[in-house]
Amino acid sequence: MSSGIFSAVYGSCVTAVGWAAHIAWCRRRLNLARKDPLTGLPTRYDWHSRARRIARDPFPAIVTLVDLDDFKAVNDSFGHAGGDAVLKEAAARLAAWCAPHGIAGRLGGDEFAAVIVAEDADYGSRLQALHDALHQPVPWRGTWLPMRASIGAARLADLQEPSISVALRHADAAMYEAKIHAGWQLARPGEGPPAIHLRPQRASRRGISSSGTLGPHHPDSGKHSTSQADSALQDG
């Protein structure tokens, strides 16, 4: 083989290897963009894309928004490591709740979204189950971190324009109504504000000591310790 031909072949191989490496790098970047590195959940864009496909299922779909309450207080009291532990556990519980016919995603910060489909129209028990799961403390480094969330939901079947984007807007409004009352709320467009589904003993769950600080939760007593509290409780 002449040197000219060898150089051409070698150059082509190098170019092919370079393109393969570039494609692999692009795929890794794309996967990172699609998956939240902390929780492993789909990011906003990827969740929205997958949620649209799930919403085409013939069974009714419900879109849910979740906002972790008092999350700033957790970060202030236990540092970012404690906050990350709460985020990861909330993501795991939400993903488990969605299975097997749904998808959860992290929209950013302490806000999550989910879409599920079911064979029946009784979503109350499903939403209550999610609410209960997101009000259980998180074990962390020999203590318990408090978790609390507000949940808003919207059924696509109740909307004049049954799209994920429209459902998210209704779920967002319902979530902020629920946040005021520490419950969950299902939006019913055109029927006025629905009843808020409250969780009992709301004040005691907030973990507020006499000094207004947030401490680790002890599941056996239903109370919070204030020995490690550093900051005033602020609603997320």
Adjacent-strand bridge partners of 185: 152
55 within 8 A of 156, measured Cβ to Cβ: yes
The question of whether 110 is a catalytic residue gets the answer: yes
181 within 8 A of 161, measured Cβ to Cβ: no
d(CA 54, CA 100): 12
Integer angstrom CA distances of residue 104 from 35, 75, 88: 11, 23, 13
Torsion angle, alpha carbons of 38, 108, 91, 95, to 10? -120
Which residues are within 8 A (CB) of 101 and not within 5 positions of it... i.e. 6 or more apart?
Answer: 54, 57, 59, 116, 117, 118
Question: Which helix (H) or strand (E) covers residue 112, if one does?
Answer: strand 111-117
Residue in 60, 77, 31 with CA at minimum distance from that of residue 226: 77
Residue of 110, 132, 158, 220 marked active site? 110
Tell me which residues are annotated as active site: 110
